[in-house]
Amino acid sequence: MDRPTTRKFLILPALVCLSLAVLSQDTAYAGAKKPYNRLVHEKSPYLLQHAHNPIHWYAWGEEALDAAKAQNKPIFLSIGYSTCHWCHVLEKESFENQEVADLLNEGYISIKVDREENPDVDQFYMQAVQAMTGSGGWPMTVVMSPDRIPFFGGTYFPRVQLMRILTVLRSAWENEPEKIKAIGKNIGKFLEASNNISSGSSILDESVLKTFYKMATHNFDPLYGGFGASLKFPPPMKLALLLRIAQRTGDKKALAVVDSTLKNMARGGIYDHLGGGFHRYSTDRFWGVPHFEKMLYNQASLSMIYLEAFQVTNTPMFESVARGVLDYVLRDMTGPDGGFYSAEDADSEGEEGVFYVWSNDELEKILSKKEYELARKIYGVSVKGNFSESGKAANILQLQNDVPWDIKTGAVAQSLHKKLLLVREKRVRPFKDDKVLTAWNGLMLGSMAKAYQVLGDPKYLSAAQNSARFIKNKLYRDGKLARRFRAGDVKGQATLDDYAYLVQGLVALYEADFDEKWIVWAIKLQAKQDELFWDADAGAYFFAEEKGNFLPFRKKSFGDNARPNSNAVAALNLLNLYNFTFDKNYSDKARKIFAAVGESMVKYPLGYTQTLIALDFYLDRAKEIAVVGPIKSPQKDAIIKMLQTRFIPNKSLAYSPPGRVSALPVLANKVTAEGLTTVYVCENNICKYPTGDIAKIQELVNDNKRYKLN
């Protein structure tokens, strides 16, 4: 499926028996009814892809759930997203089929959910499917009672199998209601119990970082980078934590793991060597053959880790790749008003990867002899290729291991790239999901802001500012965020992801341009986040609001997936905001999040990497850095540049010209020395002697809490 997982939660014996029965019986279905598909009124690209199915689809919401109760029918819930390859397969194979439609229309209320518009629904039922089957992915298939408690779940099913499932489950619903009720009750109990959090008894210190280090380096692939064998997903959060461990311990192996992984990914086919940007994951150990879709959140997280690695190592390849990713987003994934689009599909012309791959004959015709020979040398192209497109040999461009990265910048290579790009742009482009998601824009604007800090290129700052303005103008009403904007339509309650990721992005943006409106807005959003999601009784944040999402009950989550966990991001935000404001409420909440996840994090730290990044900030002597100096000052500019370009992850950076009344307590009562730029490096509001000497400032900000791994 589009997100294979292997982590097991619970196997329910009664459900397993029912599942086996489902798969062993023959198909029987009722006659057709005239289809009426409500999805034609939606704006979600994924829902619109199903708007002309013969199935009587509903969107998630009150109308569908009321219909299920009124008709006493089970709900068939199908969850996916617009750029999901196997979702396309399922639609063509099953949802466009009249026999499948007849079964669903007669016996079920069918609901189609865009997981990117309704991440709360997706998260809730993904946990249920993982409990039932031991794995999960998309498309996700769930059958549940009208009170929204699931009793069957899975991912992709071939049409014949799906029809058997639908037939048997309908029969069980009508003839064995007590059995269905008992299964649902067990699953409901599990889901509620999984919401229980730690007692906070675990001791959280650097020992949990050491355990993470041991596990990560043990799972590291020394030949090709990354962790495990295949499939291989880019691991930006693990690499980010290893950079922090290397910084505080001086460990060279941690840095070598990061260096190897980033270089191997950049050379592989998972990176688009012509157009920039990363595909979602590799189907092999070598980062060679990707699953070709491109997701905005991948571009955000991977550009960020390449920027951080460039800060640490000054490796030109890392700067080049970061620019390639960011420029791809600016060129192909940015709307006219500044919002970042969500994704590009893996498929075009009905085949995965067609847009990106090359036959040997094509290359020989397009390129000069010199260019073709260079393509063979640096990208390994050949007659037999490294990929099969419709049964024919094709080439995915992969930079060969013996070829220096800088050869790509030579005149012949640039001519080669230009010719291939011109041809590629004439092909049928993969579908672009142009909805703007608040959460993913928060991640991306944060990376753009970071890029301006590290690289000094104003186009990245402009992109971050434009995205922030877009969200404020289009997705922020009456003090609350909405989830999605598309084609003039705003929809969806914002989740914890939306608030946490945006607050993080706004803090990075403030630290890039020092316009206090961004940090003031971040503080307001944090207050609204606390109001909507904070669990005052047990601590930590719920993922969704108390009312309005129609789920049976609220859930919390702490583990990472393809994106950083939002409770973990919130913990880091709280620590940062404490450094700017000295409001103890922020640091208290962060500690409660650590307490909530502590026991799980100690047992399996690899699953909670983003929380460990926040914990590293908390355990270190994190710095509050206040810079006061003239707006136009070479001294001030040099100091700010040093503080922005050096890798100092556990810091909060504020700036004000002298005499300005700041909204931030960290800048209160900070003055210049004789009109010269003056820097205050503080810890817990206790400041070292202020100085304008850049060497002394470097010494102060590099004063970490050190620890040893052995």
Q: What predicted TM-score, i.e. pTM, was given to this entire model?
A: 0.93
Tally of CB atoms within 10 A around 156: 21
Residue 552's SS3 state is coil
- Is 60 exceeded by the pLDDT of residue 22? no
490 inside domain:
no
Q: Are residues 152 and 36 in the same domain?
A: yes
Helix (H) or strand (E) holding 486: strand 480-486
pLDDT tens for each residue of 277-304: 999 999 999 999 999 999 999 999 999 9
pLDDT confidence of 29, banded at 50, 70, 90? very low
Q: Are residues 33 and 154 in the same domain?
A: yes
Return the pLDDT at 380. Answer: 95
Q: What does the mean pLDDT of the chain come to?
A: 92
573 inside domain:
no
Q: Are residues 375 and 276 in the same domain?
A: no
Q: Are residues 266 and 401 in the same domain?
A: no
pLDDT confidence of 197, banded at 50, 70, 90? low
Return the pLDDT at 198. Answer: 63
- State how far the Cα of 545 lies from the Cα of 549, in Å rounded to an integer: 7
479 inside domain:
no
106 inside domain:
yes
Contact 340, 375 (CB under 8 A): no
Q: Are residues 286 and 409 in the same domain?
A: no
Q: Are residues 233 and 283 in the same domain?
A: yes
Q: Kindly report the CA angle at 435 between 434 and 440, in degrees rounded to 5?
A: 110
pLDDT tens for each residue of 442-473: 999 999 999 999 999 999 999 999 999 999 99
pLDDT tens for each residue of 633-645: 999 999 999 999 9
Extract the tokens encoding 43.
């704006």
Contact 32, 86 (CB under 8 A): no
Return the pLDDT at 200. Answer: 60
The residue with greater pLDDT, 288 or 34, is 288
Tally of CB atoms within 10 A around 86: 18
Cα atoms in the 13 Å half-sphere on the side-chain side of 116: 30
- Is 80 exceeded by the pLDDT of residue 315? yes
- Is 60 exceeded by the pLDDT of residue 5? no
Contact 292, 351 (CB under 8 A): no
Q: What sign for the dihedral angle of Cα 264, 406, 357, 432?
A: positive
Q: Are residues 40 and 173 in the same domain?
A: yes
Q: Are residues 179 and 260 in the same domain?
A: no
pLDDT tens for each residue of 141-188: 999 999 999 999 999 999 999 999 999 999 999 999 898 888 888 888
- Give the end of a domain, one of 171, 193, 215: 193
Beta pairing class for 351-352 and 347-348: antiparallel
Judged on CB neighbours under 10 Å (0-12, 13-18, 19+), 70 is exposed
Contact partners, residue 318, CB within 8 Å, separation at least 6: 262, 266, 306, 307, 309, 310
Q: Are residues 187 and 231 in the same domain?
A: no
> Which residue type is seen at 112?
K
* Phi/psi of residue 481, nearest 5 degrees: -90, 150
529 inside domain:
no
Mean pLDDT over residues 307-324, rounded?
98
Task: Tell me which residue has tokens 């409500």.
Answer: 38
- Is 70 exceeded by the pLDDT of residue 592? yes
Mean pLDDT over residues 487-508, rounded?
97
- State how far the Cα of 465 lies from the Cα of 459, in Å rounded to an integer: 10
pLDDT confidence of 136, banded at 50, 70, 90? confident
- Give the end of a domain, one of 379, 404, 426: 426
Judged on CB neighbours under 10 Å (0-12, 13-18, 19+), 31 is exposed
473 inside domain:
no
- State how far the Cα of 13 lies from the Cα of 688, in Å rounded to an integer: 62
Extract the tokens encoding 446.
């944060």
Return the pLDDT at 348. Answer: 86
Partners of 679 in the β-ladder: 627, 691
Return the pLDDT at 201. Answer: 66
- Give the end of a domain, one of 393, 410, 426: 426
- Check which CATH number belongs to the domain holding 159 and give it: 3.40.30.10
- State how far the Cα of 481 lies from the Cα of 502, in Å rounded to an integer: 10
Contact 104, 112 (CB under 8 A): no
pLDDT confidence of 196, banded at 50, 70, 90? low
pLDDT tens for each residue of 507-520: 999 999 999 999 99
- Is 70 exceeded by the pLDDT of residue 244? yes
Mean pLDDT over residues 601-610, rounded?
95
Return the pLDDT at 199. Answer: 58
Q: Are residues 179 and 81 in the same domain?
A: yes
Mean pLDDT over residues 80-84, rounded?
93
- The helix, strand and coil proportions of the chain, stated in percent and rounded to the nearest 5, come to 50, 15, 35
210 inside domain:
no
pLDDT confidence of 1, banded at 50, 70, 90? low
In the chain, DSSP finds a helix count (H) and a strand count (E) of 25, 22
457 inside domain:
no
- Report how many domains make up the chain: 4
pLDDT tens for each residue of 562-589: 999 999 999 999 999 999 999 999 999 9
Q: Are residues 262 and 123 in the same domain?
A: no
Q: Are residues 161 and 247 in the same domain?
A: no
pLDDT confidence of 203, banded at 50, 70, 90? confident
Contact 283, 231 (CB under 8 A): yes
Give the domain range for residue 132: 13-193
Mean pLDDT over residues 126-140, rounded?
87
Give Cα separations from 18 to 25, 165, 168, 173 (angstroms): 11, 10, 9, 12
Give Cα separations from 439 to 127, 138, 340, 482, 506 (angstroms): 21, 20, 11, 10, 12
Partners of 24 in the β-ladder: none
- State how far the Cα of 703 lies from the Cα of 687, in Å rounded to an integer: 13
- Is 60 exceeded by the pLDDT of residue 489? yes
